[in-house]
Amino acid sequence: MVTPPPPSRPTFVFDFDSTLVGVESLDELIRISLEELPPEASAKILKNITAITDAGMEGRIDLSESLSLRLAATRIQRKHLEKLQIVLTHSITSGIGAIMQSLQRNGCPIFVISGAIDVCVLPVTKMLGIPDDCVFANMAIFDSAGLLTAIAPGMLVSSRGKIDCITMLRKSNRIPGKVIMIGDGMSDLLPYREGVADDFVGIGIHRVRESVQKEAPHYCTAITELHTLILSLLSP
């Protein structure tokens, strides 16, 4: 009797902002850049930025519009990235490292797909042991003076970007089997809604987005809950 090959392990695709870290990285970068302004002016801009971010994460405006509006509201320079990296390393979701280790021990491929900019994402994913070639994010464009002027054209500037990215990975056979998407926003839910991801886990650990919670087949508001759920999803 021929022994059948073991079933392939599911691939876990994680969002970055408000998932692997407890903040929205671009908003934090903007906040740091605004520290040079008077407090009242800074507070007013930050309130507007938060509203734009929420509209994008809840699917009320496209991600590309959200990115453009936020970049237009401030002046981000390369020097601000050093402070941001300190903030992000202290904002890594408590317990997420143990989840990554569990998945790696179980032979599950891990990808990070995010609408955040690469210079924000890569330092954190390196700390979590995720190879750079398994991380997909937007590329920031800086001018000769070190000012962040734009986001490079690419699939992840759109709210449908994660759908396109997962589809690309499937076609290239980098993701041969089941895909489980994990994230907090509508752009994370969309791959599941359209059948590109096989399952979806909504994250409300840092912020509950009701539009996502309403549709998510699984929804976790605590890291222990997420860890237990992920282990249960590994069962045949």
Asked if residue 106 belongs to a domain, the reply is yes
Q: Amino acid identity of 22?
A: G
Asked if residue 216 belongs to a domain, the reply is yes
Calpha distance 228→236 (Å, rounded):
15
Asked if residue 83 belongs to a domain, the reply is no
Give the domain CATH number at 18.
3.40.50.1000
Q: What is the DSSP string of 153-213?
A: -SGGGSTTHHHHHHHHHHHTTSS-S-EEEEESSHHHHHHHHTTSSSEEEEE-SS---HHHH
Query: In which domain, by residue range, is 178 found?
Result: 11-22+93-233
What pLDDT score was predicted for residue 50? 81
Asked if residue 225 belongs to a domain, the reply is yes
In Å, how far from its chain's centre is CA 30? Answer: 17
What pLDDT score was predicted for residue 7? 53
Q: What is the DSSP string of 40-104?
A: HHHHHHHHHHHHHHHHHHTTSS-HHHHHHHHHHTS--BTHHHHHHHHHHHHSBPTTHHHHHHHHH
Per the document, the length of the chain is: 236
Asked if residue 124 belongs to a domain, the reply is yes
Q: Do 94 and 165 meet the contact criterion of CB atoms below 8 Å apart? A: no
The segments of the chain whose pLDDT lies below 70 read 1-7, 57, 236
Asked if residue 103 belongs to a domain, the reply is yes
Asked if residue 155 belongs to a domain, the reply is yes
> Domain total for the chain?
1
User: 12: which residues sit within 8 A by CB, 6+ positions away?
Assistant: 103, 108, 109, 110, 111, 180, 182, 230
Asked if residue 74 belongs to a domain, the reply is no
